Amino acid sequence: MMIGYARTSTLEQKASLEAQRESLRGVGCEKVYEEQISSVAPRETLNAALEFCREDDILVVTKLDRLARSVKHLGEIVDDLDARNVGLRVLNLGLDTSNATGKLMLNVLGSVAQFEREMMLERQREGIAKAKAEGRYKGRKPTARAKAPDIEQLLSKGLSKRAIAKHLNISERSVYRVVTSLS
């Protein structure tokens, strides 16, 4: 059985998700798992797809970067699939791990993909540093500080910092930071 996995990083990428879904169905995937989440976040749907795979199944993705976040992560996924005799196909590369050449190419291309990502992040950091030096970089809008009055009110009602964080959908650390600034 061929099992597809499609992923986009944001909810705004609906067209990309649809294109991946069509590609996966087009090559014969009987079941397609899809999610819209960053590669660095916990990916429950990817885990479900991997768990669903059985011996002689093939996991299919449209692009390598839709599957793994690093060469190490890719290696872990491939090792797990190999141990269970599950193949991996990457459509845009014409890659299939059912043979030695496919496995070699997967490792080489995984390394190149990680290199490209690291270069992109390096350029991004350089751009941010330049924008900061020119006084144009503002960073993201602080969300927890804007909720300081709500935090103060909930504290006065006797709620714990953990309960406040959960109630306001912010991190516990943010609550502590606001509380410290109030003192």
**Active-site residue list:** 9
Handedness of CA 96, 91, 39, 110 (dihedral sign): positive
Phi, then psi, of 139 in degrees rounded to 5: 75, -175
Structure tokens, 21: 């879904």
Residue 112's identity, in one-letter code, is V
